């Protein structure tokens, strides 16, 4: 049977945050319903109704209609509670696209989730194994730096659709990293404030 893993890790300290999630992507179900993975619940339901009427065995006697109807029904059952949160907008961001194997993805981007992985090393190791087994990973990477007088913030989003052709497993990996650091002036002011409290 196809491996379906759902795991989530998170670390927070002050304004900094790191989260890592592994979610079953279920590409075959999206294909069965002829929808993109960013479809809403309403779109999923509407498409299911349309296709189930079209391929219902009582109305469609073509070869393969019964099997297609079963795939459509199975897809709807798997996706009916999904509301766009597992979207992987590959086509919208060609400038951010990278292709690699799962083992390369771990080496290249594994550090992004380091703090979250320390929260539950066993779960993190299992997540790494799922990614490492992937034969094909489509990766979207986005970075943003912001700075003001008091602090700087570096944010990184990495989304990867990881497919293991051997087992048929298909997972979406989402990593978010926000590290906030105080400016030297803010650190100095905080230190002076602490010294005044000590006196």
Instruction: Give pLDDT, residue 145.
Output: 96
Instruction: Give pLDDT, residue 28.
Output: 86
The pLDDT tens digits along the chain (199 residues) read: 567 889 999 999 999 999 999 998 888 888 999 998 888 899 999 999 999 999 999 989 898 889 999 999 999 998 888 887 777 888 889 999 999 999 999 998 899 999 999 999 999 999 999 999 999 999 999 999 999 888 999 999 999 999 999 888 889 999 999 999 988 877 787 777 777 666 6
Instruction: Give pLDDT, residue 167.
Output: 84
Q: How buried is 164 (Cβ within 10 angstroms: 0-12 exposed, 13-18 middle, 19+ buried)?
A: buried
Instruction: Give pLDDT, residue 39.
Output: 87
Q: At what angle do helices 65-79 and 41-55 cross, to 10 degrees?
A: 160
Instruction: Give pLDDT, residue 1.
Output: 58
Strand pairing category for 136-147 and 151-164: antiparallel
Which helix (H) or strand (E) is 102 found in, with range? helix 102-109
Instruction: Give pLDDT, residue 4.
Output: 82
Bridge partners (DSSP) of residue 112 are none
Instruction: Give pLDDT, residue 48.
Output: 95
């Amino acid at each position: 049977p196809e491996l379906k893993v759902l795991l989530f890790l998170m670390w927070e300290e002050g304004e900094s945050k790191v989260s890592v999630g592994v979610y079953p992507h279920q590409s075959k179900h999206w294909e069965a319903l002829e929808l993109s993975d960013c479809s809403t619940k309403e779109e999923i339901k509407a498409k299911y109704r349309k296709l189930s009427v079209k391929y219902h065995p009582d109305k469609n006697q073509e070869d393969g209609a019964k099997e297609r109807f079963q795939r459509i029904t199975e897809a709807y059952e798997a996706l009916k509670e999904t509301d766009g949160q597992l979207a992987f907008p590959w086509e919208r961001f060609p400038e951010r696209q990278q292709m690699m194997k799962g083992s390369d993805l771990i080496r290249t981007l594994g550090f992004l989730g380091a703090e979250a992985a320390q929260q539950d090393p066993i779960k993190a190791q299992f997540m790494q194994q799922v990614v490492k087994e992937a034969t094909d990973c489509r990766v979207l990477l986005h970075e943003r730096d912001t700075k003001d007088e008091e602090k700087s913030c570096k944010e990184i989003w990495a989304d990867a659709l990881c497919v293991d052709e051997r087992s048929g497993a298909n997972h979406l990996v989402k990593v978010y990293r926000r590290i906030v650091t105080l400016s030297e002036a803010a650190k100095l002011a905080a230190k002076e404030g602490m010294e005044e409290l000590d006196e």
